[in-house]
Amino acid sequence: MNRRGNTLFVNAALVIGAAVTLYPLLWMLSASFMSNGEATTFPPHLIPHAATLDQYRQLFIRLNLGRAFLSSTIIAVVTTLVSLLFNSMAGYAFARLRFGGRERLFRLLLAALVIPGQVAMLPLFLLMKNLHLVNTYWGAILPALASVFGIFLIRQFMLSIPQDLLEAARIDGASELKIYWSVVMPLARPILATLAIYTFMTTWNDFMWPLIVLNDQRRYTLPVALASLVGEHALDIELMMAGSVVTVLPVLLLFLALQRHYIAGLTAGGIKG
Amino acid sequence: MKLRWMIAGLLLLGCAERRQPGVEQLEFWGLGREGEVVADLLPEFERRNPGIHVTLQQIPWIAAHEKLLTAHVGEATPDLAQMGNTWIPEFVAVGGLADLGPFAKASKTIDGGRGDFPGIWATNVVDGVLYGIPWYVDTRVMFYRSDVLAAVGYPQFPRTWSAWMDAMTRIQRERKCRYGILMPTNEFEPIEVIALSNGSTLLNADGTRGAFQAPPFREAFNFYVDVFHRGLAPVVSNTQVANLYQQFSQGEFAMHITGPWNVGEFKRRLPPEMNGKWATAPLPARDASAPTGVSIAGGASLVIFNASRHKAAARKLIEFLSEPAQQVRFFELTGDLPARRSAWTAPALANDPYFPAFREQLERVLPLPKVPEWEQIANNIFESGEAAIRRATTNQAALAALDRATDDILTKRRWVLAQKASR
Amino acid sequence: MKALRAESRAAGLFLAPALVILLVFFLLPVVAGFALSLTDFDLYSLGDIHNVRFVALHNYAAILRSEIFWTALGNTLYFSLVGGPLTVAVSLGAALLVNAKAACLKPLFRTIYFAPVVTTLVAVSVVFRFFYHPRFGALNRALGAIGLPQIDWLGDPRWAMPAIILLAVWKNFGYNMIIFIAGLQAIPDELYEASRIDGAGAWRQFRHITLPMLGPTFLFVGIVTAIGYLQLFAEPYVMTYGGPLNKTLSAVMLMYKEGFRWWRMGYAAAVAFLLCLVILLATAVQLRFQDKPERS
């Protein structure tokens, strides 16, 4: 294929691919601004005839989706901040603190990655029941406060922090905690950003565990609230689309704003692994 | 900086509840449409009981069973809830429900159940203890296009299975409607009522094994599947039916087995030209030896959870909702039939042409097996039906599989009963 | 030496929070789960703890004998074995396109292709559920416009799983694409130059340079995708609830239903461990499979 034909082919394919990829999301956005029943009219159209905020009004006023939004935010923010602390401390320890059995312990942790989370869910639920944490935000947050993936990502990054830097600080008399907080963490900002974004998104999008541990409608996170709405309002398509938009928009915007960090971090962790 | 955020987050968690001092908070879970509508009755209750505030949560039926059970296991139950009476044995088995016997006897409104339908009251009694107060009764009857049935030679709805099959066949042959009847394949009630009408008990005597290959159920199952194989009913689940009321009025199907709430819905949603063109009738009997078929003693009760710390207030709410005046008001809002017989004399019910069918059917209702595992078994029943309808398996194989699955599910129950017997 | 001991002590402090969380909220439940799977803990046990029996491997035997388990496992494997390679293929294609020298606006396209990955699965399942509607859905309308027969995607037992696979491919190809792009960029240009001088065309270059050099990437992508796909749950839960005729019932859904709907918790725990076994096997198979060509 000649060069010109090649360019045409590649870019045409990219454009078509982009259209196919974006269509569901664009449609979701558009239908959320349509009035009841408009999404099923013929001929099908992508742009609403008379854009309206009716569906959003219904969601937030009648169906109280704002509450689910709040729940999702609380759980995601607390989980992200605390897990960032816990994972970075552990990751740093595995990378730069010398102690006996370090490599063996780390390998053991990695092995745990193969176990699917669902195996733990039933007993975890019973544990939460005994701790009286069912139907509480803490019940949803606690299991996520540390993750092998997060520790792994941080450790890989911190391997690149020169040991001499830390030695120098130690000679100056700084405690390990101070070294961690004042020397290491500032250097680790890129990976912390990546992990923060990743954790926030994963927690925001999490479905199965919040479905199990949160019973009360008032504590539902957005994905769980959305799934329960589907049961009742299966035929109110425009309403469902508005619900989807509310659920997807925050993480999508977060991703668009910070994608460089996120993608860079993922590839670094993925390839070296 | 991070520390400040964390503290803020923790505070937010603590503030998740807002409490009003001095007023008792009563948590009430309502299900489905009833859960929405009962909100209209609560202001009057709160007016009469200023020290009690009721927080109502509405849960869709499809998730209700799961939610209630999970709530019990997670120790997050409300004070009282509406509960389908077929679920009561299950919740008793897990020790979730409070004994309402003494309360029922002492209450003048409830009067120990003397003013209720015996068949319905019995569904709330497990091992001699009363766990629920019937709120509304439910049974399934035939809703049909009286004009269409008259046109094929049935001014009265058919009273036997053979006449019923004949009517459906004629309707389709003469193109009065596209289908004779709508029976969504993911509902177990149509299969259950056909089986009950044929004398099936669904499970054996002490509820420890399936009786699905026994002749009564087998014949009923064959009849049910046959309706589909003859093309007299569409092979759809209820999620695939876009608009039941529209399709009924447009002649998509002429019959539908459903419950009392649809009387109100039909009246509201059918177009005006449908007035006088539809009616209700008791289910057809197997043959002329019985006046009508047998239907389900259904309905929902009000139950109080053992874990509740506001049982006295909950009892007050139950008593309020059991008053004939409230029962009639509730009926007017939902079309659900009152559990108190005295409420049936109200003009709204007595003069309504659609309810005699229900009253007649309520004379011939049977409870479904009172085993805790019933919900799971019932799900397997309609799944077997679906498989046989779609010819993924033969009727015989489907029933054999159903019995095997049921016996497996009931394994623990057999052991528990054996333990009890040996003690 | 004192310094090293101080470091060790500090390590203990630093590791403690994360390890405690993992121990209490992951390891302990996993072990307890296995113990649970050896009992017949169920609804009756919730009411009275004495209603529990140690049944050793009875649950496992019952599951392996039950028809529904093999249906669920079959569905899950169908999803993984078709959806997995399909996703990987689409990701590779997208990566090749985005990475191509002739491509314009690379960052834009990369972002667009990655966007579905960050969306909430439940939300997009809701959107696709409507797409698949037999009468009003965009897919059937498009098929109708070009004269192809309309399919009841989520209602037809033959098409429900393919419909879910399509959703999974759309949602996940962006993630693997990024990994592939990184892998492609790691291939030194000199290799391509040399082969071009030797007269090799694009296809030969692909087969003899690109694919072999991407070996480790394929392994990583393959394992991660397989592990993820074998845990299929949210899509069938939202779109079909396991139907029609249990054709979209996945292993995790079976575990969820048995455990949290019917409360047969011992039984459900056994299902979970059997799935875990399958995942371990799949990982081992992939590792062994990838090892062989490298040795030659």
Domains defined for chain B, CATH in brackets:
22-139+297-352 (3.40.190.10), 141-295+371-418 (3.40.190.10)
Q: What is the pLDDT of residue C105?
A: 87
Instruction: Report the largest interatomic distance among the alpha carbons of chain B, rounded to a whole angstrom.
Output: 82
- Taking the CA atoms of residue B226, residue B228, residue B229 and residue B232 in that order, the dihedral angle to the nearest 10 degrees is 100
CB contact under 8 A, A232 and B60: yes
Nearest to C154 by CA among B240, B379, A195: B240
Residue with the bigger pLDDT between C139 and B292: it is B292
- Mean pLDDT within C137-156: 84
CB contact under 8 A, C3 and A170: yes
User: Across the strands, what pairs with B258?
Assistant: B141
Distance between A222 CA and the closest CA of chain B, angstroms: 16
Chain C residues whose beta carbon lies within 8 Å of the beta carbon of residue B392: 157, 245
- Mean pLDDT within A88-111: 89
Chain B touched by C133 (CB under 8 Å): no
Check whether B17 has a pLDDT greater than 50: no
pLDDT confidence tier of residue A271, bands split at 50, 70 and 90: very low
Residue of B29, B36, B66, B70 to mutate, testing the A interface (most A Cβ within 10 Å of its Cβ)? B70
In a domain, A248, yes or no: yes
Give the one of B65, B93, B237 whose C-beta lies nearest to C47's C-beta: B93
Alpha-helix residue ranges (DSSP H) falling in C100-155: 106-118, 121-131, 138-145
Chain B residues whose beta carbon lies within 8 Å of the beta carbon of residue A134: 73-76
pLDDT confidence tier of residue C51, bands split at 50, 70 and 90: confident
Check whether C238 has a pLDDT greater than 60: yes
Chain C touched by A208 (CB under 8 Å): yes
CB contact under 8 A, B16 and A217: no
Task: Give the contacts of A43 (CB within 8 A, at least 6 positions apart).
Answer: none
End-to-end CA distance of chain B: 64
Q: What is the pLDDT of residue A272?
A: 42
Q: What is the pLDDT of residue C252?
A: 93
Assigned token pair, B236: 């759809």
Q: What is the pLDDT of residue A141?
A: 96
Give the one of B186, B383, B412 whose C-beta lies nearest to C42's C-beta: B412
CATH code of the domain containing A149: 1.10.3720.10
Chain B residues whose beta carbon lies within 8 Å of the beta carbon of residue C157: 390, 392
Task: Give the neighbours of chain B: at least 3 Cβ pairs within 8 Å.
Answer: A, C
Nearest to A248 by CA among C229, C127, C132: C127
- Closest residue in C to A115 (Cα–Cα): C276
pLDDT confidence tier of residue C295, bands split at 50, 70 and 90: very low
Q: What is the pLDDT of residue C10?
A: 83
Assigned token pair, B317: 């709410």
- Mean pLDDT within C134-150: 83
CB contact under 8 A, C120 and A24: no
Supply the pTM of this predicted model: 0.83
In a domain, A18, yes or no: no
In a domain, A193, yes or no: yes
Whole-number Cα distances in Å, B292 to B156, B201, B280, C110: 13, 17, 13, 68
Chain C touched by A176 (CB under 8 Å): yes
Check whether A260 has a pLDDT greater than 70: yes
Nearest to C27 by CA among A141, A109, A128: A109
Check whether B312 has a pLDDT greater than 60: yes
Assigned token pair, A104: 């063996």
pLDDT confidence tier of residue B10, bands split at 50, 70 and 90: low
Could you tell me if B9 and A141 are in contact, meaning their C-beta atoms sit under 8 angstroms apart?
Answer: no
Q: How many CB pairs under 8 A join A and C?
A: 276
In which element (H, E) is residue C37 found? helix C28-37
Q: What architecture does CATH give domain C67-295?
A: Orthogonal Bundle (1.10)
Centre a 10 Å sphere on the Cβ of residue A177 and count the other Cβ atoms it contains.
12
Chain A residues whose beta carbon lies within 8 Å of the beta carbon of residue B245: none
Counted domains in chain A? 1
Chain A touched by B2 (CB under 8 Å): yes
Average pLDDT, chain C: 87
Distance between B79 CA and the closest CA of chain C, angstroms: 18
Check whether B257 has a pLDDT greater than 60: yes
Picking from A49-53, B356-360, B400-404, which range would have the lowest pLDDT averaged per residue? Answer: A49-53
pLDDT confidence tier of residue B11, bands split at 50, 70 and 90: low
- Mean pLDDT within B211-224: 96
Chain C residues whose beta carbon lies within 8 Å of the beta carbon of residue A14: 97-98, 103-104, 109
Asked if the peptide bond before residue A43 counts as cis, ω within 30 degrees of 0, the response is yes
Check whether A268 has a pLDDT greater than 80: no
- B69-90 residues labelled b (16+ CB within 10 A) or e (exposed): bbbbbbebbbbbbbbbbbbbbb
CB contact under 8 A, B70 and C67: no
The SS3 call for residue B29 is strand
Burial status of residue B139 (CB atoms within 10 A of its CB: 0-12, 13-18, 19 or more): buried
Distance between B291 CA and the closest CA of chain A, angstroms: 38
Give the one of B16, B70, B239 whose C-beta lies nearest to A215's C-beta: B70
Helix axes C160-185 and A237-272, enclosed angle (nearest 10): 40
In which element (H, E) is residue B217 found? helix B215-229
In a domain, A181, yes or no: yes
- Mean pLDDT within B2-29: 63
Check whether B16 has a pLDDT greater than 80: no
CB contact under 8 A, B240 and C155: yes
CB contact under 8 A, A134 and B73: yes
At A73, give phi and psi (nearest 5°): -65, -50
pLDDT confidence tier of residue C294, bands split at 50, 70 and 90: very low
Cα B370 to Cα B372: distance, rounded to the nearest angstrom: 7
Chain A touched by B16 (CB under 8 Å): yes
Tell me how long chain C is. 296
Cα C202 to Cα C196: distance, rounded to the nearest angstrom: 9
Average pLDDT, chain B: 89
Residue with the bigger pLDDT between C203 and C120: it is C120
Chain B residues whose beta carbon lies within 8 Å of the beta carbon of residue C40: 411-412
Q: What is the pLDDT of residue A100?
A: 83
Interface of A with C in 97-116 (CB under 8 A): 97-100, 102, 109, 112, 114-116
Task: Give the contacts of C15 (CB within 8 A, at least 6 positions apart).
Answer: A89, A90, A93, A94
Name the DSSP class of B151.
H
Check whether B113 has a pLDDT greater than 50: yes
Chain B residues whose beta carbon lies within 8 Å of the beta carbon of residue A235: 242-243
CB contact under 8 A, B63 and A137: no
Chain A residues whose beta carbon lies within 8 Å of the beta carbon of residue C182: 267, 270-271
Could you tell me if A229 and A243 are in contact, meaning their C-beta atoms sit under 8 angstroms apart?
Answer: yes
Q: What is the pLDDT of residue B238?
A: 81
Nearest to A210 by CA among A149, A146, A136, A147: A136
Chain C residues whose beta carbon lies within 8 Å of the beta carbon of residue B240: 134, 152, 155
Share of chain B above pLDDT 70, in %: 95
Centre a 10 Å sphere on the Cβ of residue B147 and count the other Cβ atoms it contains.
15
Give the one of B12, B60, B75 whose C-beta lies nearest to A129's C-beta: B75
- Mean pLDDT within B169-176: 91
pLDDT confidence tier of residue B79, bands split at 50, 70 and 90: very high
Chain B residues whose beta carbon lies within 8 Å of the beta carbon of residue C243: 186, 237
Task: Give the neighbours of chain A: at least 3 Cβ pairs within 8 Å.
Answer: B, C
Please state the domain extents for chain C. 67-295
Cα B179 to Cα B186: distance, rounded to the nearest angstrom: 18
Check whether B19 has a pLDDT greater than 80: no
Chain C residues whose beta carbon lies within 8 Å of the beta carbon of residue A13: 97
Average pLDDT, chain A: 86
* Owner of token pair 């017989």: B341
- Mean pLDDT within C95-124: 89
CB contact under 8 A, B416 and C51: yes
CB contact under 8 A, A216 and B57: yes
Distance between C158 CA and the closest CA of chain A, angstroms: 23
* DSSP letters for A82-135: HHHHHHHHHHHHHHH---TTHHHHHHHHHHGGGS-THHHHHHHHHHHHHTT-TT
Domain extent for A243: 55-272
Picking from A92-101, B125-134, B305-314, which range would have the lowest pLDDT averaged per residue? Answer: A92-101
